[in-house]
């Protein structure tokens, strides 16, 4: 069983509440918790826990936008996404925790730099070509399964490429994240990655996740969306560096 000190346990609780409060209030920022938690919890344990938290949080947030879900889009995404999940399961089972941790650090820091660069001026970015959609779906399945997070970024690229409406984007993304997490969870269970430690940590983390979502629904931040995104980018960059050298 993982033996977390009192300060480490308090740190994890604060990270969970803060990240899910951000997700509950803005729909963005929840995945920033993964690299922060990976500083004190081994990746092999954390990834299955995060998958269960993703299922729970997505189900909690799904109700508001469920009428906008495009089932046709989900059915188009699932084949290539499932192939990505299979590759991700093999890599997750094959790679050791140290390489997974370093890979997550490189991924989140790289994305943090990219997203920070995207916040510069110059008007709206040109949407990606439609041909990139199946590649983005495959990467969502693979990356989400290997690291337990970041899949939503590739789903966002997919939906941006096929030009969905704002309502469809929010509703379908919530449904996709829940569906992907369920499939990933079944895969982790099949390869024996849902151990006692993961289940106990999920049970301990669930109340803090629900508290974060509850607060996020009720707390209005005075920070502008642009400033908020830049702060999240900075957190991703800074949290990724120690993971790469851990």
In angstroms, rounded to a whole number, what is the distance separating the alpha carbons of residues 84 and 4? 33
Residue with tokens 């941006």: 160
In angstroms, rounded to a whole number, what is the distance separating the alpha carbons of residues 158 and 189? 28
CB of 136 within 8 A of CB of 155? Answer: yes
Q: pLDDT of 181-216, one tens digit each?
A: 888 888 888 888 888 888 899 999 999 998 988 887
Q: Classify residue 131 by its DSSP letter.
A: G
In angstroms, rounded to a whole number, what is the distance separating the alpha carbons of residues 66 and 61? 9
Angle between helices 71-94 and 133-147 (to 10 degrees): 40
Q: pLDDT category, 16, cuts 50, 70, 90?
A: very high
Q: pLDDT of 74-132, one tens digit each?
A: 888 889 999 999 998 998 888 887 888 888 788 878 888 887 887 776 555 555 566 67
Q: How far apart are the first and last CA of the chain?
A: 21
Report the chain's C-alpha Rg in angstroms: 17
Q: Mind giving me the DSSP string for 74-131?
A: HHHHHHHHHHHHHHHHHHHHHS-HHHHHHHHHHHHHHHHHHHHHHTSSSSSPPPPPGG
């Amino acid at each position: 069983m993982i033996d977390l000190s009192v300060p480490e346990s308090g740190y994890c609780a604060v990270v969970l509440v803060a990240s899910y409060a951000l997700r509950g209030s803005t729909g963005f920022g929840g995945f920033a918790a993964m690299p922060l938690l990976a500083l004190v919890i081994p990746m092999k344990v954390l990834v299955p826990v995060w998958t269960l938290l993703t299922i729970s949080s997505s189900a909690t947030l799904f109700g508001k936008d469920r009428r906008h879900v495009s089932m046709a889009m989900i059915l188009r995404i699932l084949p290539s996404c499932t192939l990505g999940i299979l590759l991700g399961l093999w890599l997750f089972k094959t790679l050791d925790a140290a390489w997974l941790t370093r890979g997550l650090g490189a991924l989140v820091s790289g994305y943090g730099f990219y997203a920070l660069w995207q916040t510069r001026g110059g008007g709206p970015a040109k949407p990606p070509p439609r041909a990139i959609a199946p590649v983005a779906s495959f990467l969502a399945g693979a990356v989400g399964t290997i690291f337990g997070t970041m899949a939503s970024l590739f789903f966002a690229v997919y939906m941006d490429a096929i030009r969905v409406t704002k309502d469809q984007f929010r509703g379908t993304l919530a449904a996709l994240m829940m569906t992907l997490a369920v499939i990933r969870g079944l895969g982790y269970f099949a390869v024996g990655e849902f151990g006692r430690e993961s289940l106990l940590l999920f049970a301990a983390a669930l109340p803090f996740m629900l508290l974060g979502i509850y607060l996020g629904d009720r707390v209005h931040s005075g920070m502008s969306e642009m400033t908020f995104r830049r702060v999240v980018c900075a957190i991703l960059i800074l949290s990724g560096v120690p993971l790469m050298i851990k």
